[in-house]
Amino acid sequence: MTPILQNLVEMTGHRDHLRLEVSVLSTLQKLTSVIEVRALELFTDSGQAHVRPRTWVEDGQLTSTDSEAATDPRRESLDHYPALRECIETHGDSALASPRKGRHVLWLPVWMHEKVHTCLEITQSRPFSAHKLDVLKGVFAVYQNYQSLLDYSERDALTGLFNRKTFDEQFSRHTMQGLPSRAGAVVETLAAEESASSTEPIQQWLAVVDIDHFKQVNDRFGHLYGDEVLILVANILRSSFRSHDRIFRFGGEEFVVLLRSTTLSTAHKVFNRFRTAVQEYPFPQVGQVTVSLGFVSTTKGAPVEILGQADQALYYAKEHGRNQVCYYDELVAGGELASKVVGNDDVELF
């Protein structure tokens, strides 16, 4: 088996987007004349298109970050990449440029749902031959097709949010954000910036969200309108949280949010801002819809225990008026809830 086929076999053995991205860059980096490979993230901030490296080579090793793109100091305006910008504007499949002698760059945008959020960038020391372009585009096509398959398997079909089966791995990555690592360097910088103006510690948070009286929506207006409510709530969730936070639909009208690297007071504000956004949204035919939310720090405990605590806070909110945000530790400190360790054999969540 040729080296490139061996790399393709390894690449398609991954079941995670980030590992797949690292694997395809590793494959491309081994090709002759290639001197640099990067995965770029494209995003919009304040109406302006930007680019930032998400996976790159540092000290001979591939390094990744999933920190918030909008505050990444590495970000650049897309205008600094005119060939790539034109490629995206014309819905092209590749772009070439030679910014200076001895550097020839190929960009391969990843199109998904008529949008580009990721682009592979390959830089080599000599111009790209027709044969080399065919090889690179062939590897890229395998990567893009496999990305689509992974995306389909990880997403809820109705809302497009992450599904339940992706939660454990995302939770593990989420709780590692505070640990020192090269991939987490940007996250630590952002955490330090927030803590500089606050005495509160930076933590990671998990929230469980439930749509109030959702059964009544289905019973009164039918499941078609019920599905529309779920889709619109999912859209409000997306717009209420940052790109590096994670949102899941666990089933029915229940959602889970992993909120990264912020203080307790900020978490309260963010979750209440989302609750208010839902309350004020004019849902077609249905009118007003509200949500209840319970949240907890992810500092200690297994996923099932932390989910159980957030769930307890959620159901306290629902049993005491709904349309509110409750913090588990505050309820325990106030004597409203008894602190309880939840084990795998104690309860089946959702």
Q: What residues are labeled active site?
A: 253
Measure Cα distances from 176 to 17, 120, 204, 265 in Å: 17, 26, 9, 21
Q: Is 216 helix (H, G, I), strand (E, B) or coil?
A: helix
Nearest Cα residue to 62 out of 30, 89, 88, 33: 30
Residue 162 backbone phi and psi in degrees, to 5: -60, 145
Q: Can you tell me the distance from the alpha carbon of 81 to that of 83, in angstroms, rounded to the nearest whole number?
A: 6
**Could you identify the residue written with the tokens 């159980």?**
308
Measure Cα distances from 135 to 8, 34, 92, 198, 251 in Å: 12, 13, 18, 52, 42
Nearest Cα residue to 72 out of 45, 46, 56, 52: 52
Residue 307 backbone phi and psi in degrees, to 5: -60, -40
Using only the alpha carbons of the chain, give its radius of gyration: 23
